[in-house]
Structure 1
Amino acid sequence: MNEGEMLLIKVPASTANLGPGFDSIGLALNLYLTLEVARSDRWEVIPLTEELQEFPQDEQNFIVKTAIEVAETFQTILPPCQIKVDSNIPLARGLGSSASAIVAGIELADQVGNLGLTKQQKFKIASKMEGHPDNVGASIFGGLVVGCQLGEEVDAEVIHSVDLEVLAVIPEEELLTKSSREVLPSTLSFKNAVSAGAVSNLLVAALLTNNLELAGKMMKKDKYHQPYRKALVPHLQLMEDCAFEFGAYGVALSGAGPTVLCFVKPGKMNLLIEGLKQKLPKMSLLPLEIDKNGSICSGAIITK
């Protein structure tokens, strides 16, 4: 990036798991973290939303720290920048806000440091930082991502042919991933692990063949995390009990929660929204679409 040039980085939100695809299935959604980056004499982060104002506004900002760390692994020192940060991704709600920040930091390092990273390299770096490939994979590649992280190896298949209508049901309260993971069992019996894997496998097959009813059935049969997290997210059970009568074919906790996603039959979105408004009047209902582009960087010339 040359002096006087502004860089625009746009990273989509994501949902993970889709029920039984625990730590391996991610879906990119059309909410975005956006960075406007210009060269400066010092690191300065300018939050454009009230929610982002709680974070550091210098090189201690998580996105900047991520960028500096990534650049250092390639023996590169980044020149300081002014970064205007905007986001409509709710924080700590299970919609991949931390993953999008990691991806934004990697894109920042790549562009400002002229690292020339491939998408696969960015994916490997992001997965190592996040600890699992689902959210970051979706934010980088877009679409539906099925990933596997074994030690230093990270692989994924990216599917852009899947079209899903999604309604996010978002409560006011946050739920940190750490708290949500603490309720999970440390082990599963061999028998339960086999059946949990079978449910996850069939979910992917159903999504790829557009068998929506079967996909929804598998979401509900998850054995990895949703049964243990229902105590933290009581509206998950309520939605499993009522959303289907309003036009949903599937209900799944989004990531670690507390957002719950409804997967909606074509033409049923308005009916579902009206029905859930009566059941969950204090929650935000947000219709979403799949983002199929993933993270995007573009440049323009501005006068700072």
Structure 2
Amino acid sequence: MKAAAFATFGGPDVIRLIEAPEPQAGPGQVRVRVKAAGVQHYDCAVRGGWTPAYGLTVRLPQIPGNEFAGIVDQVGEGVTAFAVGSEVLGFNLLNSYAEYVVVHPDQIVHKPAAMTWEEAGGLTGNGQGAHIALKAIGIEPGDTVLINGAAGSLGSFAVQLAKEWGAKTVIGTASLRNHDYVRSLGAVPLTYEEGLAARIRAIAPDGVQAAFDTAGGEGLQAAVELVLDRNRVCTFFAYDRIEELGLRIVRGERSAARLAELADLYAQGKLHIEIREVFPLDRSADAHRLIETRHGRGKIVLKID
């Protein structure tokens, strides 16, 4: 099968299109013919030599990619929830930048009929990441919530979930060119410049109850300054400042149940998935270059025919 992989650690240029052995579904597994795979900063970090704390083993040449969507084409013994031909989206730690991926049934859910392959390929990682973060900080009806980096894929999911879960006001920081988009998601947009905390106070004189940071900088400083309970501030960006700022490390596991909830919100028309750019598999390196600029809005996806 065709796959994008890296044989050495390094920058985006180490990712090359290769021929790899086709994986086969064993008992209790399914094989998915991948139609689209999302690109995440996680993938770039692994490509650069980072190994997650939970003991992921990287074997060179390594196929990156931890979210995908496609069509089930093999069903192992004992699997009853999916059949050959099922359209699904799912998650994996690695190996999704490929024509086929083998996973367990608890890593996939059925794709909503109206969801495009590109949308399905880009939901799993950042959608579940936003869900995990907002559950950790405890969004409650009537809250005012700050989302720092609201135009990115992770931030835009967080804005929508905060609104869905009852936040009265969501304030989203973003570059000026993305303010209309952030506003369309239901948030009040603000730029990142100095004096952000004062501008947030003007919008929310009764205070900010919770904050999720995806961009660091002035937005994170404002979150720490404005939110009284540090347990209700979470960063998925400035990990090196967590101890200094007195924040807690937020971890959570992706699950089929969590993913199914997000897919259902999409099916109800309550969750928008913004696609920033779609690359063919042989341009995976370009996709990595783009995501590492940390600018723009929405999700970067690989299309695999």
Please give the TM-score of this superposition, normalised by the length of structure 1.
Answer: 0.29
Q: Which has the higher contact order (CA 8 A, sep 6+)?
A: 1
Would you tell me which structure has more strand in proportion to its own residues?
A: 1
Please give the TM-score of this superposition, normalised by the length of structure 2.
Answer: 0.29
